[in-house]
Structure 1
Amino acid sequence: MGEIKKSWEEINQRLATGKAVVLTAEETAELAKTESPEEVAKKVDVVTTGTFGAMCSSGMFINFGHPEPPIRMEHITLDGVPVFGGVAAVDAYIGATETHPDDGRFGGAHIIEKLIRGEEVYMEAHAKGTDCYPRKDIATYIHKDRVNEMILTNPRNAYQNYPAATNSTHRTLYTYMGTLLPSYMNVNYSTSGCLSPLLNDPYLRTIGIGSPVFLGGAIGSVAWNGTQFNTEKPVNDRGIPLSNARTLMLVGNAKEMSADWIRAGYYKKYGVTMYVGVGFAIPVLDEDMAYRVMIRNEDIETSLCDYGVEGHPTLAKVNYRDLMSGTIEFRGKRIRTAPLSSYRRARLLAEQLKQLVLQGKFPLTAPARPLPEHSRVQGLSIIRDRRA
């Protein structure tokens, strides 16, 4: 592969003159049935992707503004949910998975969604008081129009693939992969298949630091690689990782976001999470990029892991066509499958992003800096007490 080449500038010029062809990843996957990568590279300029799933490693910085007299907030709650105030006088970080001390089904994600919706939230803050910040207590209602900034800052979003989960034990397990019934009675998975952003650019040729991203209904940016960014996972013959691999740290103005694309959630006996809509517009720069964005659900495999055993060992490989069919065959029997992410909304997001690109409302820009080519994830070492 390598004859057809298009630059970012050429594609942007085609967009500006109304000549560009923009398709969703699902539409491009359909072309793969009849077209070669060379033909797709000639015909298609941009491919839009989307996912809408639980992204626990999410949260929001908020600057409340200074009251008079001012306060250096130390212990802060929003609608009773603790938020982290150890960053500055009136800055705080709301973690999506932080929970209310009296209600484990309500937490930071609900606060973020309420504020994005334009609802008021009750805030209490306490401090020791200083000469420059003499106030010791404050209680008030905040609203997105009465605070300075609401910056969604998500350390680990848009996982590049994720293992499917099942349970070999004789008891029901309640996990971040949902409820897993005993004795392999069900399988849960959480990826939007051929629409998933990082599966359409598996080596991140077009996605890096500074890349624009559809984030929660607004245009955000890739700030850095996400935490637990892993380039060392095994891949299939399409270059698709067979397990959870690369991730992105995403930021954006939450005041511009929509509760259509930011939703609080709760997993029974596990905890609060936040559903986030994420999408990228991928330029088809050459035949190799065309080959990557032509992936179909049957081309994308993931590991089926046993969450009933320590270390979650891999039991088999499965593809997303089979997972999305509603059942898979495993060890001689049919097992029900269920998604934890919404394929319908991922499809809607990719279509919405397609229209934004065609209307010139979503920028198509090269990354300012690439993400790491080599990175692996370490476990936490447990070291005996050295303080003695």
Structure 2
Amino acid sequence: MSGKIFMIKENNEFVEMEEKKHARELDFQKLIEEYPDLIPGDQIDSANPRKWLHVGSEVNFPIVGSGNIYLDHLFLDQDGIPTLVEIKRSEDDRLKREVTAQIIEYGANLLLSMDVQLLKERVESHENADITELLGEEGDENEFWQKVDKNLKSEHVRLLVVADEIPQRLQNALEFLNRNMESVEILAVEIKQYTSEGITTVVPRVIGQSIEAQTKKSRVTSSGPKLNNETFFKNLEGPGVPFYEEFFDFIQEKGFKPLFGTKGFSLRIPFEGKEVKILEGYSKIAARRQHLVSYKGDLKGMVNGGDDIAETYVRSMLKIDGFESVGDGFVFRIKENLNEENWNLLKEVLSKLADEIQGNGLKG
């Protein structure tokens, strides 16, 4: 049964407005793109209302394994938290059964395939994306992208299901998940539309929060103390131990620098008083267990001819057995150690990369 709201105009005219469902999902999707504030940032965080930077619509990124995903909308808020939006109309049966699994799958695959450089490139190519408006004149854009990078690495994302009506069974599921997830916030936004004689009123409402969940989210930190060489090796298992032993012997010999975080390290090549980050390595306590993953942001942003160098680097690493393509980079899930031939290839690629960085020099 459709609902009603009432408007009283300045001349005391009483206007009755009836709820009207969105005729097409595409119309609903375009409404969010044109008016992002229909996602009520003050309801998501009343103490610090969320503001939105629209990264893109129908955002295409790969499913790790096979296939592609087309996400309805991708936003970043002022704290650099990626916010994924999937839109459904109430008439869509998937809203009752499948959408929870769908939005979680989207979040998981975005974290596997996206890095900060890809997001930055998407924003730069989006003619209506204004970081200054998001951050204010005093905002620091470099600091903002550092926050985005940190959120991606710590898997701090927000998942939103947007519909013109949220079924009770979906509300129950989202509230349960939101209570029991710390770094991921999963909510629904119900946006009802009311019309009367050429007037349209749109009323958004956030669903899925609780005081318990909000308190838990506010306590999310960097997830523990930083590792060092000793504690990193204590958090390895099986083939990870011999793999990283040889890897660390090699990078020490080359003078490369590991910078440890809470679950792994970033590998950097020192040059001209700066450090060019080229990949990240993780222990078993990372969400995706022990693995190596590419990082190309510094190559592209700091090194002369960095785009070509990064492309060659990834292409060369993918020739090594066990290295897989993810997005436009690579990942190596350490399920077994490399044989001598593949070790030689890995060392050759990284040595050549260092030589190219030094040969081409840094920008500026």
Instruction: Report if TM-score (shorter chain) is over 0.5.
Output: no
- The higher-RCO structure (CA 8 Å, 6+ apart) is 1
- What TM-score range do you get, normalising by the shorter chain? under 0.3
TM-score by length of 2: 0.25
Q: Which has the larger radius of gyration?
A: 2
Which structure's residues are more often strand, by fraction?
Answer: 1
TM-score by length of 1: 0.24
